[in-house]
Amino acid sequence: MPSHSQGKFAIYEEGRLQMISDDPFPPKGCNPDLCFSFRIEPQLTESEAQEIAKKLDIWELLCEPYLDVDMPDQLCFAEESLMRKGLSMNTNKRMHWVVGTGLWWNVFAWEWVSLDYTDVKKGWRINTGLLAIMLLPIAIPLWGTYGSWILLSIIGMGVAWEKFWTYYINRLEQ
């Protein structure tokens, strides 16, 4: 397998291709929040890469950075595939943040093979349950008046969060 410094690298800034380079690092003066590079696979044509990107699950690509491994080639491939699916740099970052809210538990599980929608959904449900448990000391004294509404509101917001982002991310894939 070639090292990270071999081959050609595409340098993207703000979601647009800026240059092709032999250096894997973005040039000086490039905003690190808006600039990234990935290795171009010379054996794939653009149409082949586009076909591969269409077949990949958007949830697995968004979950890639949260795996408990350090594989820059896979991260670059995931970012490239998301760009090929039509996600802008800002949308990509926003979706990574949203998916990350459901994958914080991976710090304890150390999943290193694959993460997908079921893992994100599990994390969002853990978040809702933990928030409801943390609010129990407030809700119990108020049970006759507002306590039950507090707990039901938290559960309802958790369900709404899960449904909205599931719908939104699945629409990005179409």
Burial profile 27-53: b = 16 or more Cβ within 10 angstroms, e = fewer: eeebeeeebbbbbbeeeeeeeebeeeb
Express each pLDDT in 19-64 by its tens digit.
666 665 666 666 666 666 655 555 566 777 777 777 788 888 888 8
- Does residue 35 sit in helix, strand or coil? strand
**CB count, 10 Å around CB of 82?**
23
Record the pTM. Answer: 0.63
